[in-house]
Amino acid sequence: MEKLLIEDYAAEGRSLARWQGKVVFVERTVPGDVVDVFLYKNKKDWAEGYPLTFHQLSPVRVTPFCKHFGDCGGCQWQMVPYEQQLQFKQKQVQDALHRIGKIPLPELLPIIGGRNDRYYRNKLEYTFGTYRYVPETEFKKAPLNSPKGGTSGASDKAESFELLESSETSSFAGGLEEARGAVGFHAKGLFDKVVDIKHCYLQPEPSNQIRETIREYALAHGLSFYDVRHHTGFLRNVQLRICTTGEVMVNVIVAEDDTKKTAQLLEHLKQTVPSITALLYTLNTKKNDSLYDLEPVLYSGKNYVIEKLSPGPGEEDFQFKIGPKSFFQTNTYQGEQLYKIARDFAELTGNEIVYDLYCGTGSIGIFVSKKARKVIGVEMIEAAIGDARENAAMNNLHTAEFYAGDVIDICNNEFFAVHGRPDVIITDPPRAGMHEKLVRKILEIAAPVIVYVSCNPATQARDLNWLGEKYAVTKIQPVDMFPHTLHIENVVQLKLK
């Protein structure tokens, strides 16, 4: 499709154009761009594609600050000014709630933007890969239908990216190179190719220092990187947690049971980066990257880090013990904002019993606990409940209790007789939202107030539609936890009709 005018933003980090009555979703574009588009999906009423030629660049574009933008897929909107990102995310929430929720809604409160739009993540994972992803800029003069190019089949488009800033590369035009030294993130949509990261703006130091220290040592000492196709190699992943308290956890994941080689690497890392407070390794010889069924081994320091959340002026900081497999809000500062909104929406006076569903390690329940009479946390994952109980004890809370299991099974009349019925329910489900059976259970419980924290406004809207049987939506507050990405959090207050 030639010379399409990009008209508006769309979901999932894309923008949209229209062609002969068809909506065309286009990646890596901004409203105001005029582009030739190659379609990789073409349906009756809509299509998806990526830009081949930029005939005109939008006046709202800004230059991405990261040289890896467009390759790793971690930050989809660096070419969009942050204030415009926030405006679109606000619109994205509103559209999803109206289109899917189909229930009466109050006016949305203005979105709360990130305190920092760089170096905001407390957790990050890098991958060691045998196959380095080659950015388009490294071979953009080559025909795209040559063995070294991509798969668009449009060889006359070899010059097609000339109008783009040099930092705006395309994963679609990228290639594959066998290399021992690829350390970074998977290229978008490609399981076996790793974008070789030189500097990442997502996590504060010593994040980049740790990654480069491991890389340099590995190359100097002949340590092999993991080959995901053949399941061979030594270094597989490294997980980093860097807390606002200054504590740093590093968990190096290896695929070979060689304790001597592992210890030598970890000792070098310990000596080179002395700020590491928790240094561990995990042996993973499985074909998948999941660590939930594996046990990290402590090499040096503690096997956990401490993070803090400040509820408000004059209030004591809450501390949270985070292990190598614990869940915690990835953006600590915005996590505080999210929890403050949840607490405000709960309208606590000190007399309420609060049920915290999907409580994880108990962070929301603990955060609101000082304004509640009692907090009851429920979570399916037993290990998370163990963390929640430890966190409650660490903060000297005697009014917060946590239980492992399914809410549908736990919250019965016998349980209510012991712990009391909830005055407020706080629910923070995963991206898939709540199971319909749980929604039915919540409707049966009929707590006066529900606070619904969501990382996916679309599934939240579906659940609000179900809850609309008994509840009215009374407040809506979007929160941006992840600047330059397509993700958005939203907090909704509901009250019994």
pLDDT per residue over 175-190, tens digit each? 444 445 699 999 888 8
At residue 7, does pLDDT exceed 60? yes
What Rg, from alpha-carbon coordinates, does the chain have? 24
Q: Is 455 a catalytic residue?
A: yes
Beta-bridge mates of residue 478: 490
Write down the pLDDT at residue 470: 97
Maximum alpha-carbon separation in the chain: 74
Domains located in the chain, CATH noted: 4-67 (2.40.50.140), 87-117+331-496 (3.40.50.150), 123-135+174-306 (2.40.50.1070)
Task: Give the pLDDT confidence of 17-64 residue by residue, as tens digits.
Answer: 999 889 999 988 999 999 999 999 999 999 999 999 999 999 999 999
Q: What's the angle, vertex CA 183, arms to CA 249 and CA 142, rounded to 5?
A: 155
Residues 290-317 have a mean pLDDT of 88
Residues 291-300 have a mean pLDDT of 95
d(CA 257, CA 283): 7
Write down the pLDDT at residue 146: 41
Task: Give the pLDDT confidence of 329-385 residue by residue, as tens digits.
Answer: 999 999 999 999 999 999 999 999 999 999 999 999 999 999 999 999 999 989 899
Residues 126-155 have a mean pLDDT of 62
At residue 145, does pLDDT exceed 80? no
Nearest to residue 325, comparing CAs of 380, 269, 279, 387?
387
Query: For the chain, what is the mean pLDDT?
Result: 90
At residue 165, does pLDDT exceed 50? no
At residue 152, does pLDDT exceed 90? no
Task: Give the pLDDT confidence of 91-126 residue by residue, as tens digits.
Answer: 999 999 999 999 999 999 999 999 999 999 999 999
Task: Provide the angle, in degrees to the nearest 10, between the axes of the packed helices 207-220 and 259-272.
Answer: 130
Burial of 344 (0-12, 13-18, 19+ CB in 10 A): middle
At residue 172, does pLDDT exceed 50? no
At residue 147, does pLDDT exceed 80? no
Whether 235 contacts 264, CB under 8 Å = no
Sign of CA pseudo-dihedral 6, 9, 15, 18: negative
Task: Give the pLDDT confidence of 229-243 residue by residue, as tens digits.
Answer: 999 999 999 999 999
Write down the pLDDT at residue 181: 67
**Max avg pLDDT among 5-19, 31-45, 302-316:** 31-45
The residue annotated as part of the active site, out of 75, 200, 411, 455, is 455
Residues 248-273 have a mean pLDDT of 98
Write down the pLDDT at residue 139: 57
Token pair, residue 374, equals 């009692």
Residues 240-252 have a mean pLDDT of 97
Task: Provide the angle, in degrees to the nearest 10, between the axes of the packed helices 436-445 and 457-467.
Answer: 40
d(CA 285, CA 156): 45
d(CA 318, CA 365): 11
Write down the pLDDT at residue 312: 65
- Close Cβ partners of 216 (under 8 Å, ≥ 6 residues apart): none
Residues 233-259 have a mean pLDDT of 97
Task: Give the pLDDT confidence of 203-226 residue by residue, as tens digits.
Answer: 999 999 999 999 999 999 999 999
d(CA 494, CA 465): 12
d(CA 2, CA 49): 12
Write down the pLDDT at residue 150: 40
Strands of 15-19's sheet in order across: 4-5, 34-42, 46-56, 22-26, 15-19, 8-9
